[in-house]
Structure formats: structure tokens, C-alpha cells
């Protein structure tokens, strides 16, 4: 494979492009509402109408507005525009399509009418998005490598192998300001440089696709919609750090993503884009899949590596960091799916272009999975620094049925709840941390006025309790105790002392746990306590051993218990 072969494939693909393209979403969300049936019906309808020469029915990745699926969009190629991506000719978007609608949809190509509900592709939900990671999502066929190659796929890998030294490449990633999209936001270039500098014959690259936060589906969508972008990113990273073997650790709950990754790896190997002597250079790189067995903690990098090695997935103390001693004790680079998907665009378009997007300390875009009490549920990609209000109110369309938004939960069980008053916060790593939440992997759950915050805290605590691996005491026993205390508060059996105990435990578990799971498990409680303390204190009962009622002003026991000032026994260590 040389660059000419790549161009040839792309040219052939462009030449074969027909006058109309009917794009039908084939990601897990739409597939669950029978988009496969829709696609088959559309193909039949095209054949019946005798339009095979003019119309292509293409199964594509996520088209983002998941709540209105199955989604179908019809593009027409104008003269000159060779590919839908390059033209701005995105046609009408049809929502909630059923197989029975196929004939009427195809008839619109000949001037007919269709009763199918039309979506607005110019709604802020679409127009306010800026796609880097999801640029191909919804346009290319994720099951065909040719489709990806036509969208400039594997060009970046070629350019890197031909024109850049690993050092220059790492320099470029550092300059771009890309930070890890898995949640913690560690500078990606720095991580690459550390692994690159490690002296070892054997190094590994791992893609963390163990997306486990409740309500998050960004990584799944990327893998289902554009698997090759992740493979290309991994290959570029491998070249930068000097690795020859990669692993994608993907959870078993994502069968479609696994199938598409399998197919993508096979195709890439067939074309010589993975394997030995890629692009006739001395660079070798292979990727294998490892399927997770359903443990949230395996998203933690050291637990993930243990699991890849076939051991019990429990974290271990760091240092040594994976960059020094990781998988099979070799230096290992671990990045998230979205991080890898950002790599090829940065190489193609330059570090300055990427650094020009976003805020001072958070560059580029972030994909969010918008879910919960919101009108437009789906996948969005926005520049860093976009105000939360813009995301939930303009793009998301606010709470359904005229409800009022109460809080937005980010970062899953490790994150926190941001109250409606703080909606003007720009979304980037640092501002969310300041609010006691985290960027996390990108789950964004919107809650309306009917949501009880103590309930929310209990839900996430139960999740962490069940998902704790059981290795260290604070996480294993502490989450269980906190869950018990939250139950007690919700049952109305708790006193101020219990609340105090809960808060003290939060800080203790946060500060003493072994890995990120335990260290962040108290965050949902702490952040709801910070912004919605009254919801907790309203549930408390009078404290039998609390301060005696003041005889002079005559306040009763109940009032004394409820009006107690926020606990003062909170350790100074907590931020």
C-alpha cells in the first residue's frame, strides 16, 4: 500500500457515487428501533422504483438525534461536489421512520410527497455542533474501509510515517493542547512523550473503550460510527511512542461496536494499513481486541491492564505509572476512544487549527451524550467552553413538557450535579472541577424539578458500591456505609449526626481510597450537599441528643434539629 493506492480507492469510491444518497442510521440507538428493517425496506423500494442507478442506500453511523430515531437523510450530489462531506448539500432529515415509510420516502426523489415527520437540520442541536471526532459519523459507512478512506482516512498515518519523526509528532500533539478525553484531562502529548522516552524493546498502546458511566454512550457511538478513526489514531500513537502492539479493551455490552471493530481491523490488515511494513515503511503495528466482562472498575487503567493480562481486574497503586511499567511490565500508553479519534484530524489539519478551538486550557471539542429530562436526547460535539445553558436549553431544547431544569449531572458516578443557577458555566475541565463536578467521559444527564437530589446521590452511591472491586477498605466498606446512611436519610430516620457522619465518610473515602473509583465515589453526595443541602436537612428528624431547645425563644426540638448549621467537623483537607 502506497499513497497512490489510497488515492485510487478514494477516486474509485467517488466515481461510483450516485445522484442520491439515502443515509440510514445504523448505530445501536436506531438499530434498537428497527433501523435495519428500515434500511432493507428502503433498498427494496429503490429496486422496485428502478432507481438503482441513481440512488445509493447507505448504512451510516450515529446521526446524533437519537430520541427521534430511526433517522434517515437524503442527500443529492450536485455537479462538482463529489462527496456528501465536501458539499453542503445535506438534504431533508426524516425522523421515526418505519419500514412502511420506505416507498413514500423513495417517491420524494421523483417529486412525490411523504407523510414522514421531517426534522430540522438547521436546528441549533445540529448547527451549534462542531464536529471533529464525529465528522464522519452519520456520513460514512462504518463497515467499509473504502468509505473512510474517501473521507481522507489513513492519510494522516501516511503523512506521519513519511514526513514526521516520532519526536516531531509528539511535539505537534503537545502543541495542539489535546487533553485526555477519558475524564481526568491529562495532557495527551505529555503522556506520549513519557512513554516515548521509556527505554524498552517492547511497548504497548491500549485504547480504553470500557465506557461504563450510566447514561454515557459517546465512545460506543464513535466505535460504531467511525471505527477506523480510532485505529488510525492508535497507529499514529504507536509510531510516536515506538509500540508495535495495540489492544482495544471494549466492554462486552457493546456487541455492535465489537463487530464493527473486528471488521475494521480485518479490512485494515487486508489493505496493509495494519500489520508489518505499513505504507512500505519499517513500522509494524497490530491491534487486537479484548472484551471486558462487565466491571466498571476495569475502566481504571491499572485494573484494565490486569484484565487484559487475563487477571482479576483490580487496580494497583501508582507509581509505577503505566507509562513506565504497564501491560506485562512494559511501558504502555493508555488513551480513551475519543482521544484517539482526535489524533488523525490534528495531524491532518495542524496543531494550530486544533489549539484555536476551545478555551485557554481546554482545547478542541468534546462529545457529550445528552440524556435525562431533555427534549433532544442524543449525541453532541461542541467546542470546549460552550456554556452549559447553550447545550441544555438551545441545543437540547430544555426539559420536555415545559418542565424546569433543576440540575445537570456530568461525569457519571465520579462527577457531580451542577445546579440550574450555574448553567452559564463554560464547559471545560477546570470550570467543572471548580464546581465540584468533573468533565468525565462526557455523560450529561439533565434533571428537572421532579428529581430528588438525595435520590440521585443514592443511585450513584449504589452504583459505586456494586462496582467497587473490594480491594481497598475505604471504597469497599465505606461506600456500603454511605449507601446505608443515604437510605436512612431517605427513610426519614436520620438525624444531623448521621448527616455529619456521611459527610465525614465522604472526605475519608475520597482521600484514602486506592483508585479513582473510590476517590471520586463521594462526589455525587458532596456536590448535591453543596448545592442542595436543604433537601438533605428537610429529611432529617429531630436529634434526641442534639442541642437542647432554647427555653427563652421557645423553639422546639424539631426546629433545633433542622436548623443546625452545616457540619463543622468537616476535615480541612476537603476542597
Chain contacts with other proteins (rule: CB under 8 A): 295, 297, 312, 316-317, 465-474, 476-481, 484, 501, 504-505, 508, 511-514, 571, 573
* Residue position matching grid coordinates 415527520: 117
Nearest to other proteins of 256, 480 (CB atom): 480
Q: Of 50 and 317, which has the nearer Cβ to other proteins?
A: 317
Question: Which is closer to other proteins, CB of 112 or CB of 470?
Answer: 470
In angstroms, rounded to a whole number, what is the distance separating the alpha carbons of residues 469 and 515?
Answer: 10
Q: How far is the CB of 294 from other proteins (least distance, A)?
A: 10
Rounded to a whole number of angstroms, the minimum distance from the CB of residue 291 to other proteins is 18
**Shortest spacing between CB 465 and other proteins, in angstroms:** 6
- Give me 516's grid cell: 479513582
Residue number with CB closer to other proteins (6 or 295): 295
Residues 367, 381 contacting (CB under 8 angstroms): yes
Q: Cα separation of 47 and 56, whole Å?
A: 10
Tell me how far, at minimum, the Cβ of 553 lies from other proteins, in Å: 32
Strand order through the sheet with 245-251: 286-292, 245-251, 204-209, 332-336
Question: Quick check: 226 and 154 in contact, CB under 8 A?
Answer: no
Give CB contacts under 8 A, 24+ apart, made by 141-145. 141/58, 141/59, 141/60, 142/26, 142/59, 142/60, 142/61, 142/224, 142/225, 142/226, 142/227, 142/228, 142/260, 142/264, 143/59, 143/260, 143/263, 144/267, 145/228, 145/264, 145/267, 145/268, 145/271, 145/273
Give least dist CB 479 to other proteins, A: 8
Q: How far is the CB of 332 from other proteins (least distance, A)?
A: 19
CB of residue 527 to other proteins, shortest distance in Å = 20
Query: Which is closer to other proteins, CB of 290 or CB of 471?
Result: 471
- CB-wise, 368 or 463, nearer to other proteins? 463
Nearest to other proteins of 264, 303 (CB atom):
303
Query: Ramachandran region of residue 143, left (φ > 0), alpha (ψ -120 to 50) or beta?
Result: alpha
Find out whether 564 and 555 touch, Cβ atoms under 8 Å: no
> Apex CA 193: angle with CA 288 and CA 261, to 5°?
20
Long-range contacts from 510-514, C-beta under 8 angstroms, 24+ separation: 510/574, 511/571, 511/573, 511/574, 512/472, 512/474, 513/472, 513/474, 513/475, 513/478, 514/315, 514/317, 514/471, 514/472, 514/475
Q: Please, which residue, 294 or 356, has the CB nearer to other proteins?
A: 294
With respect to other proteins, which residue has the nearer C-beta, 277 or 571? 571
| Helices 255-270, 218-225: inter-axial angle, 10-degree rounding | 40
Nearest distance from residue 470's CB to other proteins, in Å? 3
Mention every residue, 6+ apart, whose C-beta is less than 8 A from residue 148. Answer: 136, 140, 142, 154, 226, 228, 229
User: Please, which residue, 275 or 574, has the CB nearer to other proteins?
Assistant: 574
Q: How far is the CB of 513 from other proteins (least distance, A)?
A: 7
Shortest Å, Cβ 472 to other proteins = 5
Instruction: Tell me how far CA of residue 477 lies from CA of 35, 196, 278, 459, 465, in angstroms.
Output: 45, 39, 50, 17, 8
**For other proteins, the closer CB: 229 or 495:** 495
CB of 253 to other proteins, least distance (A): 17
Amino acid at each position: 500500500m502506497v499513497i497512490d493506492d489510497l488515492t485510487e480507492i478514494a477516486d474509485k469510491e467517488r466515481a461510483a457515487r450516485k445522484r442520491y444518497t439515502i443515509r440510514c442510521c445504523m448505530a445501536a440507538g436506531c438499530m434498537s428501533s428497527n433501523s435495519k428493517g428500515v434500511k432493507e425496506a428502503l433498498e427494496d423500494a429503490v429496486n422496485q422504483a428502478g432507481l438503482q442507478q441513481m440512488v445509493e442506500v447507505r448504512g451510516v453511523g450515529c446521526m446524533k438525534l437519537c430520541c427521534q430515531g430511526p433517522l434517515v437523510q437524503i442527500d443529492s450530489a450536485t455537479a462538482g461536489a463529489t462527496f456528501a462531506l465536501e458539499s453542503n448539500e445535506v438534504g431533508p432529515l426524516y425522523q421515526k421512520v418505519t419500514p412502511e415509510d420506505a416507498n413514500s420516502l423513495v417517491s420524494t426523489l421523483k417529486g412525490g410527497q411523504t407523510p414522514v415527520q421531517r426534522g430540522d437540520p438547521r436546528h441549533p442541536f445540529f448547527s451549534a455542533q462542531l464536529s471533529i471526532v464525529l465528522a464522519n459519523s452519520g456520513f460514512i459507512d462504518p463497515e467499509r474501509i473504502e468509505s473512510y478512506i474517501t473521507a481522507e482516512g489513513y492519510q494522516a498515518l501516511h503523512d506521519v510515517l513519511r514526513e514526521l519523526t516520532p519526536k516531531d509528532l509528539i511535539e505537534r500533539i503537545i502543541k495542539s493542547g489535546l487533553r485526555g478525553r477519558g475524564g481526568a484531562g491529562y495532557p495527551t502529548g505529555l503522556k506520549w512523550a513519557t512513554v516515548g522516552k521509556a527505554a524498552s524493546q517492547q511497548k504497548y498502546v491500549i485504547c480504553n473503550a470500557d465506557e461504563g458511566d450510566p447514561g454515557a454512550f459517546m465512545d460506543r457511538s464513535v466505535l460504531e460510527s467511525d471505527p477506523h478513526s480510532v485505529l488510525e489514531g492508535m497507529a499514529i500513537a504507536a509510531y510516536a511512542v515506538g509500540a508495535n502492539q495495540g489492544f482495544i479493551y471494549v466492554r462486552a455490552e457493546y456487541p455492535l461496536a465489537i463487530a464493527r471493530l473486528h471488521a475494521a481491523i480485518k479490512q485494515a490488515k487486508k489493505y496493509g494499513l495494519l500489520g508489518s511494513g505499513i505504507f512500505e515503511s519499517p513500522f509494524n503495528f497490530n491491534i487486537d481486541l479484548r472484551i471486558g466482562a462487565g466491571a466498571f472498575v476495569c475502566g481504571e487503567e491499572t485494573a484494565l491492564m490486569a484484565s487484559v493480562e487475563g487477571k482479576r481486574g483490580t487496580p494497583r497503586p501508582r507509581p509505577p505509572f503505566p507509562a513506565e511499567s504497564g501491560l506485562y511490565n512494559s511501558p504502555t500508553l493508555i488513551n480513551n476512544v475519543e482521544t484517539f479519534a482526535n489524533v488523525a484530524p490534528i495531524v491532518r489539519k495542524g496543531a494550530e487549527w486544533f489549539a484555536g478551538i476551545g478555551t485557554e486550557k481546554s482545547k478542541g471539542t468534546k462529545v457529550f451524550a445528552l440524556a435525562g429530562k431533555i427534549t433532544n436526547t442524543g449525541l453532541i460535539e461542541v467546542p470546549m467552553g460552550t456554556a452549559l445553558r447553550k447545550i441544555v436549553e438551545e441545543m437540547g431544547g430544555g426539559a420536555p413538557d415545559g418542565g424546569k431544569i433543576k440540575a445537570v449531572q456530568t461525569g457519571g458516578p465520579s462527577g457531580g450535579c451542577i445546579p440550574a443557577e450555574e448553567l452559564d458555566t463554560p464547559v471545560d475541565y477546570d470550570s467543572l472541577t471548580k464546581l465540584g463536578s468533573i468533565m468525565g467521559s462526557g455523560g450529561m444527564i439533565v434533571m428537572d424539578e421532579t428529581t430528588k437530589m438525595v435520590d440521585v446521590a443514592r443511585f450513584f452511591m449504589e452504583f459505586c458500591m456494586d462496582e467497587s472491586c473490594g480491594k481497598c477498605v475505604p471504597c469497599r466498606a465505606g461506600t456500603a456505609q454511605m449507601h446505608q446512611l443515604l437510605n436512612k436519610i431517605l427513610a426519614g430516620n436520620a438525624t444531623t449526626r448521621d448527616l455529619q457522619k456521611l459527610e465525614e465518610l465522604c472526605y475519608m473515602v475520597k482521600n484514602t481510597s486506592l483508585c479513582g473509583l473510590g476517590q471520586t465515589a463521594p462526589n455525587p453526595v458532596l456536590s448535591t450537599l453543596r448545592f442542595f443541602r436543604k433537601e438533605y436537612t428537610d429529611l432529617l428528624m429531630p436529634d434526641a441528643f442534639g442541642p437542647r431547645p432554647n427555653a427563652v425563644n421557645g423553639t422546639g426540638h424539631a426546629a433545633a434539629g433542622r436548623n443546625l448549621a452545616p457540619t463543622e467537623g468537616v476535615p480541612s483537607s476537603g476542597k
